[in-house]
Structure 1
């Protein structure tokens, strides 16, 4: 472990960038999550699960794959899926390909809910981030996101 006198501290510009990013993330996440809850009654994780399933082949994904895509433990995902099942948004099925594990499948109700929620969610994302930036800033944000994601989680 590095000792305090050996720590490569952030310079003032790096510190402002870091703190600005943290504040930006909190503000945008909070406002978009609030809008989502008010507009559709969904939580961020509900929306993430439904959108992942709506974009997947056959509207299904293995439970473990879904957990991995959301950076969650399989246990946490299992509990969340159970709550979504109780609301009729998804169902669990035995994996048709190999009979091992479970797949999470989007129900007709889940598809209806995500299709209804998506336009309002996009409007919130636009209102709280995208429309506040120039085309050049959006391109820069995309480049920054790609760089950081690729270095933290390289594609295999």
Structure 2
């Protein structure tokens, strides 16, 4: 096997740190949201993406794209959030085959009440340890990685 297949020492150290963050951060975010709001991080992300959409409404396929979820996973989560009164599903007026997800007033209030604690956790664990240049570098680096993972920009995060 060729030598260039293996990571250099610097690359290996960076990779191990990256994987450590990828593995630990979701648990930190979930723990805070479960404790403070009885939501998973994905529940909150789904509500937050709807809160930013025009009329707080997205087609389920678009919501799946912006949350990086498969339609079956999203449908399960939306069903759970619908039972709690945070989301309402309605037929899409322009396409009877499609379904819209809309954030209810209760869902809007939940996002508003949950956001400060979530932002505090994101600041505490991700943003505050960095200086302005680090934040710019993080944005740039994540853009490069997302460009490779999502070359067609289906996630709609490469704005």
TM over 0.5, yes or no? yes
Q: Deviations over 1:63-88 (max 9, x none)?
A: 11111222222111111111111111
Q: Deviations over 1:37-65 (max 9, x none)?
A: 11111111111110010000010111111
Correspondence for 1:96 among 93, 101, 105: 93
> 2:49·2:67 contact (CA, 8 Å) conserved in 1?
no
User: TM-score if structure 1 supplies the norm length?
Assistant: 0.91
1:84 and 2:81 equivalent?
yes
Query: Which residue of structure 2 aligns with residue 57 of structure 1?
Result: 54
- SS for the counterpart of 1:132 is coil
Q: In the aligned structure 1, how far is the partner of 2:29 from the partner of 2:144?
A: 24
Aligned residues: 152
- SS for the counterpart of 2:115 is helix
Alpha carbon RMSD of aligned pairs, Å?
1.5
Consecutive unaligned residues of structure 2, counting only runs of 5 or more, are 154-159
Correspondence for 2:137 among 125, 136, 140: 140
Cα drift, residue 155 of structure 1: 5.0
Consecutive unaligned residues of structure 1, counting only runs of 5 or more, are none
Structure 1 residues 123-138: aligned runs within 5 Å:
123-138=120-135
Q: Deviations over 1:82-126 (max 9, x none)?
A: 111111110110001222211011011100000100111101100
Query: Which residue of structure 1 aligns with residue 35 of structure 2?
Result: 38
1:107 and 2:129 equivalent?
no
> 1:60·1:104 contact (CA, 8 Å) conserved in 2?
yes
